[in-house]
Amino acid sequence: MKPAYEKLAASTEDGVNCNIVQGKTFGCVWHFHPEYEITLTRKARGHRMVGDNLTSLEPGDIVLVGSNLPHDWQNDEGAPGGPQEVDHLCIHFAPDWLGRGWLDLPAMQQVRKMLARAALGIRVEGATRDEVEALMLRIPEEHGLPRVVTVLSILQKIAVSSTCHTIASRGFAPELDPEDELRVNKVAQYIQGHLDETIYLESLAELVHLSPGAFSRFFKARTGKTVPSFINELRIGRACRLLAETDFAITEIAFSCGFPNLANFNRQFLRRKNMPPRDWRRQFAG
């Protein structure tokens, strides 16, 4: 799954690209770009993939994506009950955003170290998350120097925080090829659209014109995950949302997420969440 290369255009006024994504989808693919990216997901039911980490999205999720780190945000359009509208804010700035050598300034030492950590992605949590969200919500209305100051304030808050954690595995080293967009999109969209069905390795391999064995190696090398692990993580993510947000029977949820039987669902859920589905649901009972 080689990610697609994305070319971004920053504002000529302040060097910051600001996008607000609203609608049924994120309009996103598995991609990378040299610019740093800070995202705030206010609404969505889906998942994000940063490097080799696949995580269910929660409202208020804030992530800093490092330069050339592959990533993807997807809304779960096939979940029972239909998709939730997406409300997503993302900003981008280039490594040389403020000119050559800006990160070499003594005042930027903490930010420089933090941006180096962002090569694995950083999730912003705790009190820092609330502070960063408030700053990010100002950016769409700001321009010029005020926007620059706000972005620098965000970076400083993340840099000094003790509640921000890296996302991808330390050993993650993807092969970056901007010419493989079609392959990754075909596979990702097929899996997302068929989560409630049996997904055969042969069908995925056929989509990208590889043998099953070659496709398995290809997928693991690019994403850091085996095909079954990737599919099961997406299915468990959907199940978690249904357990929290609906009163569907657990057996019904298991089948709607593509698990062949309840025992398999319980086993996979316990492996990834360290508790059975029933206990997970109890956490959200009002």
The CATH architecture one would assign to domain 181-282 is Orthogonal Bundle (1.10)
Domain boundaries, the chain: 4-166, 181-282
State yes or no: pLDDT of 1 exceeds 60. Answer: no
Among the residue ranges 35-39, 115-119, 268-272, the one predicted with the least confidence is 268-272
The CATH architecture one would assign to domain 4-166 is Sandwich (2.60)
Buried b (16+ CB within 10 A) or exposed e, 5-28: bbeeebeeebbbbbeebeeebbeb
Same fold, 4-166 and 181-282: no
Summarised one tens digit per residue, pLDDT across range 165-174 is 999 877 666 6
> How far apart are the C-alpha atoms of 227 and 212, rounded to whole Å?
11
The tokens for 148 are: 């620059």
State yes or no: pLDDT of 4 exceeds 80. Answer: no
The tokens for 69 are: 């780190």
Q: What are the CA-CA distances from residue 5 to residues 30, 184, 218 (Å)?
A: 9, 12, 18
Average pLDDT over residues 12-39: 88
